[in-house]
Structure 1
Amino acid sequence: MDIPGKIRRIARPFRPVPALPKPVVGLQAPVAAGTTAWFVALIILLATGADSTAIWTALAGGGLGCIGFGIITWQTTASRQGSRGAQRDL
């Protein structure tokens, strides 16, 4: 049990935290899954004759997923080229 006011010393320095593996931090898989889900929902909504608001919502979700792929490609290219403002390790 710690005694109040007494500082505990750490016997050795902390080890650096290892980088997470690419499949864990990769962006392509979740964006692909989400975009596919929105387009599948759009097809189902069109087949069932759903309300136009739901159809436009599914279309917007799929479109934003496609824009997300463009942003991922843009950031990956900038990171590989060594741009200062790009996100690293993509």
Structure 2
Amino acid sequence: MSRIQAIKEFMVREFLPDVSAGELDADLDLLEAGVVDSLGLLKVIAWLEDVHHINTDEFDLDPEFFRSVAAIDEFIADASRQQAEAA
């Protein structure tokens, strides 16, 4: 399963139970659409830490990183690369 698909499935499971992962546009603005609120951002961050092993304490987190599935995917890629370079 691709990372984009995994993010979509997480979003659907946690925030959009009436939508299929295939229906969720990777560029949908999750914040503007009201899919994810401030408490939802905490869920997303916890998921990133648990599933993708990203130590979010090492990053200045900006809501823009979580605005869409595509933005989350980009954040995971960047954070993983930075953590690998630091190791």
User: Do both proteins adopt the same fold according to a TM-score greater than 0.5, normalized to the shorter chain?
Assistant: no
Larger radius of gyration: 1
Higher relative contact order (CA 8 A, sep 6+): 2
TM-score (norm: length of structure 2)? 0.32
TM-score (norm: length of structure 1)? 0.31
